[in-house]
Amino acid sequence: MKAGRALFLTRFRKKIRRLFFGLPDRRSPEDSPDSAGGPPKARLPDSLAGALRSGAWGGILFIPLITLLVLVGLALLLSKTPGRALRFFFLGPFRSLYNFGNMLNGAVPLIFGGLGVSVAMRGGHFNLGGEGQIYAGAFTATVCALVLAPLGIFGGVLALLAGACLAGIAAGFSGLCKARWNTSELITTFLVSNILTLIVNYLVNGPFLDPETSLQSTKKIAESLRLPLILPPSNLSAALFAALAAAALTQFFLDRTKPGYEIRMAGASETFARYGGINVRLNTVLAMFLSGALYGLAGGLAVFGVYYGTVKEFSAGLGWNGLAAALIARFYPPAVVPAALFFSWIGQGARIAMQNSDLTFEVVSIVQSVIFFLVTSLSIGNFFGKKFVNGRVKQ
């Protein structure tokens, strides 16, 4: 009786971990290196074909559809002119180059944020400090760009790297705390993010405030360091190409390099990683550092391509939206790009609808909340994780 109950609890725990995280149970005998004679199952699919074969992906692919249906229902229920509101919401971002470019531009920081979350999650860690890391990376890049302006493009590259490194160090500190003292990175990344936000707010409003502008912002960087615009008069810049390249390089790093393999193995099974001679603690710090660095690049490119300086709290909401994009993509780097575009389309369409109809910002907030609920809901994975055999559902 006790043995049967223990077996049931073990299988139930494995199923929950697999459906929610795509990760087998580390404490299960099946995941030990000497029981199966080989490595455990990967934390997440390493190819698009493998991703699409994953049962949980069925639910993820339906999330955009469910979200749009919720939006239609809210518009019909709350708007006096639902047809007009929905028309501007769905078609507004595509009616002009200005709107279309701004929609693509809004996806750029979400791509970097989604990639940052994905790297951390593939290593078995959480990074909830995205907003502070974007903010700190942007401010560091701004200050370095102002100082290194005489160096031209080389100085701009150094400024971007400096911003990425500072954000990476902030996230890597949380990884170090976890590796050394087993401190929850959920808490430390969030707390460090808040500290960074407060520090940067003080610096932007104080020593680095530009007295020549009415905005709470630093001085503008030199025009020679600004990224070229695409689809003017929109804000879309060459940062879009950097985001696409980052998605490809992140996937290549995780799949085709030794450090990426070690990060994935440490995330899939710490026991197997240690058995194979992988330094789990080092890979914890490395995964978190890379996660923060990607967030920092998002902030730096926002400065060089859109704001040309650090505007107070411009990163508010970007960290959580990047997390949502990563959740929709199931932490698969190439899939982060369409997920970020989908989320940016919702935001841009909502702004256009609010300008041309009675659709309110609260409706958009509800839709974003629905996205978070769906991507973290076990019921989606439970339903779409079932196997269909001969037209019947196999539990």
Query: pLDDT tens, 103-135?
Result: 999 999 999 999 999 999 999 998 999 999 999
We report the CATH number of the domain holding residue 250 as 1.10.3470
Provide the residue range defining the domain that includes 208.
Answer: 48-384
Share of the chain above pLDDT 70, in %: 79
pLDDT higher than 50, residue 94? yes
Query: pLDDT tens, 246-301?
Result: 999 999 999 999 999 999 999 888 888 888 889 999 999 999 999 999 999 999 99
183 in a domain, yes or no? yes
pLDDT higher than 80, residue 7? no
239 in a domain, yes or no? yes
Instruction: Report the range out of 76-90, 131-145, 206-220 with the highest average pLDDT.
Output: 131-145
Nearest CA to 162 out of 342, 53, 316, 300 is that of: 300
Beta-carbon contacts of residue 79 (< 8 Å; ≥ 6 apart): 85, 357, 358, 359
Report the pLDDT value the prediction gives residue 19, as an integer from 0 to 100: 42
Q: If you average pLDDT over every residue of the chain, what do you get? A: 82
The model's confidence at residue 25, banded by pLDDT at 50, 70 and 90, is: very low
376 in a domain, yes or no? yes
Considering its fold, how many domains does the chain have in total?
1
Query: pLDDT tens, 220-238?
Result: 999 999 999 998 889 999 9
177 in a domain, yes or no? yes
25 in a domain, yes or no? no
140 in a domain, yes or no? yes
20 in a domain, yes or no? no
Report the pLDDT value the prediction gives residue 24, as an integer from 0 to 100: 44
14 in a domain, yes or no? no
pTM for the whole structure: 0.81
